[in-house]
Amino acid sequence: MARLDDTNNAAQQGRTWGSRFARQPAEAVRAFTASIETDIALYRQDIAGSRAHVRMLAAQEIIPRSQCDALLQGLDQVEQEIAAGALELRDEREDIHTHVEARLAEIIGEEAAGWLHTGRSRNDQVALDTRLYTRDAIDDALVGIPALQTALVELAERNLDVYLPGYTHLQRAQPLLLAHHLLAYFEMLDRDAARFRDARTRVDVLPLGSAALAGAAHPIDREAVAKELGFRAVSANSVDAVADRDYIAEYLAAAAITLVHLSRLSEELVLWSSAEFGFLALDDTHTTGSSIMPQKKNPDIAELARAKSGRVMGHLVALLTTLKGLPLAYNRDLQDDKQGLFDTAATLSGTLHVLATALDGVRFDSARAQAAVDGDPFILATDYADYLVRKGLPFRKAHAVVGELVRRCEAEGKGLAHLTLAELQASHSSFEVDAVGMTARQALAARDVPGGTAPARVRQALADARKRLNAEAQG
């Protein structure tokens, strides 16, 4: 039998494996497989899981109580060192789990530290850590989303009487109250929050106790660990528990959809703050300038928010692509599930926050926004058609009548609001004096249906939005 190379002593290297190998990993392999620079972000989750696991092992008399106390004290010290940036990160120790265990061995001795991994594997350990992290990320999103919704509601309330063109195909369509338009984003974000809440129920399952893939061989109490860590349930199948990353995919999907909505909001901030639109101005605190053009005031935060949505969508696609070809159970491919998760959590949190603070400083130019409606010659065309319907014409006939009227107005260089009663009646005899000079305010008031843009409906929608936010805040 070949003599074991002393340089491959697993304890010396700080690895949790290696005694069956005659030679240590090549330098390039060690660097390629190490993940500590990424998963150091999981240290709090990893140590919290280890504390709960150790307490359970002692309660079940699987490890001596004295060893439990030593482990808990050692884990406290390791956590303090990592938080202070005092723990040396070494590639040969691969990941956060090994760094914690190796440092424990240095603090309390190898024998005492050796009890820590009883009844678990790095496979169920990392599944636990990422579930804890994802649960925290969801909770963070469920704080950031209502904060942005609140900013939207407050902006709407500050501009309750302002109207502007609504657009389809980026062409002026019909007048809308600005508040009604802003509340559309409130509804999008409400659906986003619902997706996160729904995803959280599937994140909230304890995988620890599944070990490598077949379950632990000791009489562990999984329910006790779940209770200490705040999980609602324990996993039902050990193979699935270590191989599952659906919960990360669901989080990334919910985050990607949220960021798509934030990107759409950002696009309108960009458009509406341009000279061509001029509907709003962002505060100086949330804009940047040009290195060459002194007059520039750029909506860079909105532009960056648009870009970040693409990055998060990429993380979702990357994870799904990784998962699609994996056989059960654990595969090392899953080590790469974290970069996208961490970046998405930071991106989503930062984007929600910066947009909420930006909206606090937005100033609308109500005169410019309303002039875009009042100066449009045909933005009330649908209202003229609806007028004829109320006089007894089928809508398709009314649509055709007003379409011909618009064509004639274009040829004569005038708008619908400038037509006399005689000119209107030349198109159809059902027009009466109350059709002359229709206004945007009349058009808005006519949309008095649930979900419509009539002022009374919008005021009620704002009140309902406030109630929903308050109910959510109260749990």
The two counts, helices (H) then strands (E), for the chain are 20, 6
Residues 449, 455, 460, 465, Cα dihedral to 10°: 110
CB 234 within 8 A of CB 220: no
Backbone angles phi, psi at 414, to 5 degrees: -135, 165
* Pair of tokens at residue 211: 């070990």
Nearest in space to 331 (alpha carbons), one of 85, 126, 93: 126
Q: Distance between CA atoms of 290 and 280, rounded to whole angstroms? A: 20
- Give me the amino acid identity at 137: A
- Which helix (H) or strand (E) element contains residue 27? helix 27-33
Give the pair of three-digit tokens for residue 51: 């504390």
DSSP 213: T
Q: Is the peptide bond before 329 cis (omega within 30 degrees of 0)?
A: yes
Judged by DSSP in three states, 294 sits in coil
**Residue positions annotated with a catalytic role:** 169, 290
In angstroms, the CA 83 to CA 85 distance is: 5
- DSSP secondary-structure letter at 175? E
H/E run at residue 222:
helix 222-229
Do 416 and 405 meet the contact criterion of CB atoms below 8 Å apart?
Answer: yes
Rounded CA separation 265/356 (Å): 11
Q: Write a three-state SS string for 442-460.
A: HHHHHCCCCCCCCHHHHHH
Q: Is the dihedral of CA 42, 43, 44, 45 positive or negative?
A: positive
Residue 416 DSSP one-character state: G
Are the C-beta atoms of 243 and 330 separated by less than 8 Å?
Answer: yes
- Angle (CA) 250 256 260, round 5°: 150
- Phi and psi for 201 in degrees, rounded to 5? -65, -30
The token pair at 374 is 């009042």
Is the separation of the CB atoms in 36 and 93 below 8 Å?
yes
